[in-house]
Amino acid sequence: MMTTIFIGLCGSLGAVARHLVGKWIKAHCSRYSFPWATFLINVSGCFALGLALGSAGAESLASALAHSHPFTTGFLGGFTTFSTFTVEWLELWQTKNRLAAMLYLLFSGTIGLLACWTGYKMM
């Protein structure tokens, strides 16, 4: 039960961090129609996940996840957001900003995976 509560607290901290980092990024990138805040938050979260998994020193990724779940499931789960990504992608598509929508889709997946792999390999 205490682990569940701790994961919830970490998730709350991740959500607050996402809100604050998102506000800061939007304040500095407001002239662009590309959803930089969500993109950068998700990519940095992927990198942090890779670092966490790589530093766990476990024999398998499943074992590494099991030992780092307050940070990975809690904080990073609250910090990153797939649902906001999908809404922002749909908004770009519906406003006929098709190139930005396709680049957002391509870069989010590709760079997110590369960031996770890089973080993992660094450890």
The answer to the question of whether 14 is labelled as a binding residue is no
The answer to the question of whether 109 is labelled as a binding residue is no
Residue with tokens 């942090």: 48
Listed residue (16, 72, 64, 24) closest to 48, CA to CA? 72
Residue 12 burial (CB count, 10 A):
13
Q: Within its chain, how far is the Cα of 44 from the centroid? A: 6
Q: Within its chain, how far is the Cα of 56 from the centroid? A: 19
Q: Which residues are annotated as a binding site for Na(+)?
A: 77, 80
Q: Which residues are annotated as a binding site?
A: 77, 80
